[in-house]
A = this chain, B = another copy of it.
Amino acid sequence: MSIFETLESEVRSYSRGWPTVFDRAQGSWLYSEDGKPYLDFFAGAGALNYGHNHPVLKKALIDYISRDGVTHSLDMFTVAKRDFLETLNEVILQPRSMEYKVIFPGPGGANAVEAALKLARKVTGKESVINFTNAFHGMTLGALSVTGNSMKRGGAGIPLVHATPMPYDQYFDGAYPDFLYFERLLEDSGSGLNEPAAVIVETVQGEGGINAARLEWLKGLSDLCKRHNILLILDDVQMGCGRTGPFFSFEEAGIEPDMICLSKSIGGYGLPMAITLIRPDLDVWAPGEHNGTFRGISPAFVTAAEALRTYWRDDELEKSTKAKGERIGTVFNEIVEAYPESNLVAKGRGLARGLEFPSGELAGKVCAAAFDRGLLMETSGPDSEVVKLLPALTTTDDEIEKGLGIIKDSVESVLAR
């Protein structure tokens, strides 16, 4: 491991919890260079909803590369981009009666967020944005300013201003009405709250600790935004593309965000890709006002389109995701009940699941025990106190059971000591 230690910056993090060198991967399995298999319940932090190296996507990708399809194309028109746009329109947008235009904002989720924030400010002429406690939206300066984690914010080196955090759903355990403080500040012209251009929100806060907002809270937020003429930016980078069941994580809430950020699994195969969907009337950009080098990675368009065609023409994946998610939820509740003195909490929706421990130390030990047993999971939450599961949506029932068995063992090994 020497070259990593001597040459790579200390900022690396995942490699600290999983100190092995990975080589190959297939479906829900990663293999270290010495051949040891690891069941991957983290799936690229949600970038691999269809598993590693999915054979259908792989074939399409190799075909495309083999025939010298354009690889890099800035924001030029390409056959691959056209196919992606047409498939997105036909398979995703039209069946849901959604009217949006597509920005290719750059290769990653933070680019999707930066483009949305820029456009929201440009359209409204207002500078302020509302974010939520424990939000995570990315590491570039604009995205970081709406992210909650104080350690990550501290990395900015300048004051992160222009955003005001509001309490996320259940921040006070339901003891107080939703949006109590937020709406009071908006209605009071003396409140001192700068009038916001937009609200940016995740439906389930993954990095924040697998906090799943109730659908009625999301609906309430959407209504509040409409009442106060505030744009609603839905960051579906981690929870979109089926992670909670439906393609968009907000579908069941019955809301229509003004902007939607997608990345991670939109490319299907783990290649960098992001899009920002915007209400057509908000498309006030001048040509080139937002640009970038990696906005047209055609191999990702190819696997993205193929993934949509393969999985989203019917509701099978959605149903199976919910079923598998509920199975995990059931087992997590059993674990919670098995250690009543430990005050564990089962969290999440769909295949975004969390098990909250009283401390980050305990959660970290459980993840380490799982790694030793061949299962990859990570922690999240402000104090890293939540064991976070984002298995590929294509994980089989057997794999789910295998992983849950390892989790049970790992929890027992830590809590029963």
Contact = CB atoms under 8 A, between A and B. Distances in A.
Interface stretch (A98-106, A320-328, A407-415): A98-106
A209 B284 CA distance: 26
Contacts of A209: 190
Interface string A19-53: 11111111000100100000000001111100011
A359 B67 CA distance: 41
Contact of A121 (B44, B133, B158, B290): B158
A155 B118 contact: yes
Interface in A111-166: 111, 114, 117-122, 125, 127-128, 131-135, 138-143, 145-165
B159 A293 contact: no
Number of copies: 4
Interface in A165-202: 165, 167, 171-172, 176, 180-181, 184-185, 188-195, 197
Contacts of A162: 158-159, 161
B150 A71 contact: no
A416 interface: no
A406 interface: no
B140 A71 contact: no
B89 A7 contact: yes
Given A70-B30, A193-B165, A13 B75 contact: yes
A225 to B, nearest CB: 18
A8 interface: yes
Interface stretch (A248-256, A266-274, A397-405): A266-274
A21 B190 contact: no
A391 interface: no
A97 interface: no
Contact of A294 (B119, B180, B272): B272
Interface string A66-94: 11111111111111011001101100000
A327 B272 CA distance: 37
